[in-house]
Structure 1
Amino acid sequence: MNSKQLVWSDFVIYLKLTCVAVLWGGTFIAGRLTVSEVPAQIAALMRFIVASVLLVAILIKVEGSFKKINFKQHLLTASMGLTGVYTYNIFFFGALSYMEAGRTALFVSLSPILTIIAARVLFREKLSTLNYWGVILAFFGTLLVVTKGHIFSQLNASFGTGELMMSCAVLSWVAYTLLCKKTTGLSPLIMTTYSTLWGLVFLLIGFIAEIQAWQIFTFHARTYLSILYLGALGTVLAFVWYAQGISKIGTSRTIIFNNLVPLFAVLLAFLLLNEPITLSMLIGGILSFSGVLLTNIKN
């Protein structure tokens, strides 16, 4: 592959990861709409039923059959399903039941830094000094966006059930991202399909304990659309592209795009819900994008 092809390949991955940030920004709005009518456990279950059906259909279409994997690969994808699908979504939807989407997004900004530190320790994945400055810049920009410039007042806010749940969600996603790095020999599509199926199994097992409390819910049309969005775009498309990013440019340079998720969540809230955007949020967005660019500059 020549230099022009390499540059184009990297550009495509960066574009996909930016789109992932947009899609995940939308999950905060869709998730908030969903949990206003559906319990967190049911919301997560419905999201991954949709995602599992679509992923299996796509895998059979692309590969020609449902590809089997070995025992070790099952262990890895099961661990990914447990962390990135089951525990993350239970805590994510649970947190949205207790706190507003903006404060929830504040915790998401912690996942890139935690993941980059872990990747450095576990995988010896190195970044240049300039790249690390980019990480710090992106983090600070994200804080400006989600706190609307009132960083210290938000950081000093009380730490309750929602904050605890979101902290657990962040740690779950860090674990999922690191496990993505370990799934050598699997394409992003196969890896995402199996981890999603395993996650669905764990969600179904967890649902058994809640089955006595099950009742028939009457949903608004927007709830069905939100669940479809969460399953098809927020999971199938976003998870596959995220896995491609880790495979192509590494864990650290992929996870930094998560700093753009709160930015796009705020932007979508402005476009769809007419929520205001302040000057500090605009400055924070510029800093976040600049930080992501700096982190992805290669030596």
Structure 2
Amino acid sequence: MSDAAARDAPLAGIGCLVLAAVTWGCSFPVGKAAMLVVDAYFLTAIRYGFAAAVLLGVLLHTEGAAALRCDGRPLLVALLGVIGIGGGVLMMFIGLHHTQAEHAAVIVATQPLVAALLGWVIRKQRPGRATLFAIGLAFTGVALVVTRGDPSSLAGTGSAIGDLLVLGAALCWVTYTLCAAAFPSWSALRFTALTAGAGALFVVAATLVATQLGVAAVPTSGQLQSVAWQILFVTFGAALLGTLCWNIGIRRVGAGGVLFINFVPITAFIIGIMQGYRFNWAEVVGAALVIIGLLSSRIGTANQKGDTG
């Protein structure tokens, strides 16, 4: 790689991460609007069915038929697809149906700190004091946002269930992201395409079961047409472009790239303001605490490395 290419690689990675985060931030209010017409099951099945087909087609064209093989790990690829797409995305959209788009975006932004907690539980890697402080700060912020400063407001509403589902989805996506390290020789396109394909099959199967149980309803052609642009955006913008750009960006920038997840709630809040939503003091302060928590976590980690280096 030339010196110019080496310098451009991180910049390109940063651009990918910003694009992914902004796209995901937009997908919350856009997806919420689409779910007023098409339920979460069919919306997720449609978006990842098309996205996976496109990704697999591009993979076949660029890397050849050999790239479609799982290198002896089909069960792991399938499991990650189920966790990342089935758990991470389907659960996210079901939760989004029961809560506000801006609240879901704030919860999703805590993923880097959720990753630290997951590493503590699984790998017995206790986070440093700065990270523990950041985790407490961020989850205090989340509590302020989802309750709007009044915990009693959650009683008798489905928003608490929705927020918990979104938190569970964030945990699934963190697991999916961390496990990507098990495929260092694969390109970001290959990892994204194969896991998305497995995840899409799971979502389609779950949608069929939900339909039989009466939980999901088959949308009519008129309903699909009425939210066509929203479906196109969450499919080709968030699901396809966003996921691929995120995986590319993380590989080029490294673990520090997770900070760009801050653009998700910022984007969602800006759109909410443009749509006329009036945020109260607790929502604004809570979102700020989450962002400060993420920043302080990365700064504390960097200082810790500097002291030991």
Q: What TM-score do the two structures reach when normalised by structure 2?
A: 0.77
Name the structure 1 match of 2:26: 26
1:196 Cα deviation (Å)?
0.6
**8 A Cα contact 2:141 2:287, kept in partner:** yes
Instruction: Output the amino acid matched with 2:266.
Output: L
Tell me whether 1:201 sits opposite 2:201 in the alignment.
yes
SS for the counterpart of 2:69 is: coil
Tell me whether 1:61 sits opposite 2:78 in the alignment.
no
1:166 Cα deviation (Å)?
1.7
Unaligned segments of structure 2, at least 5 residues = none
Equivalent positions of 1:1-299 (< 5 A) are: 5-65=5-65, 67-119=67-119, 132=131, 139=138, 152-153=149-150, 157-158=154-155, 160-212=160-212, 213=214, 214-217=217-220, 218-219=222-223, 221-251=225-255, 253-271=256-274, 273-276=275-278
Change in Cα spacing, 1:221 to 1:72, as seen in structure 2 (3 Å) is: same
Instruction: Output the amino acid matched with 1:53.
Output: A
Q: Hey, what's the Cα distance between the residues in 1 that align with 2:37 and 2:277?
A: 22
Structure 1 stretch displaced more, 162-171 or 35-44: 162-171
Q: Hey, what's the Cα distance between the residues in 2 that align with 1:27 and 1:138?
A: 26
Change in Cα spacing, 1:223 to 1:56, as seen in structure 2 (3 Å) is: same
Q: Hey, what's the Cα distance between the residues in 1 that align with 2:166 and 2:290?
A: 21
SS for the counterpart of 1:209 is: helix
Change in Cα spacing, 1:171 to 1:221, as seen in structure 2 (3 Å) is: same
**8 A Cα contact 1:141 1:283, kept in partner:** no
1:296 Cα deviation (Å)?
6.5
Percent identity, please: 21
**8 A Cα contact 1:115 1:255, kept in partner:** no
Instruction: Output the amino acid matched with 2:260.
Output: F
Instruction: Output the amino acid matched with 1:39.
Output: D
Per-residue CA deviations over 1:100-122 (Å, capped at 9, x if unaligned) read 21222232133220113434776
Instruction: Output the amino acid matched with 1:49.
Output: G
**8 A Cα contact 2:138 2:294, kept in partner:** no
Change in Cα spacing, 1:198 to 1:141, as seen in structure 2 (3 Å) is: same
1:293 Cα deviation (Å)?
6.8
Q: Hey, what's the Cα distance between the residues in 2 that align with 1:210 and 1:144?
A: 31
Change in Cα spacing, 1:280 to 1:204, as seen in structure 2 (3 Å) is: closer
SS for the counterpart of 1:180 is: helix
Structure 1 stretch displaced more, 28-37 or 220-229: 220-229
Structure 1 stretch displaced more, 229-238 or 109-118: 109-118
Alignment RMSD: 3.7
Structure 1 stretch displaced more, 58-67 or 20-29: 58-67
1:25 Cα deviation (Å)?
0.4
**8 A Cα contact 1:43 1:227, kept in partner:** yes
**8 A Cα contact 2:92 2:169, kept in partner:** yes
Q: Hey, what's the Cα distance between the residues in 2 that align with 1:68 and 1:187?
A: 12
Instruction: Output the amino acid matched with 2:168.
Output: C
**8 A Cα contact 1:141 1:286, kept in partner:** no
Q: Hey, what's the Cα distance between the residues in 2 that align with 1:155 and 1:228?
A: 38
Instruction: Output the amino acid matched with 1:153.
Output: D
1:275 Cα deviation (Å)?
3.4
Alignment length (residue pairs):
294
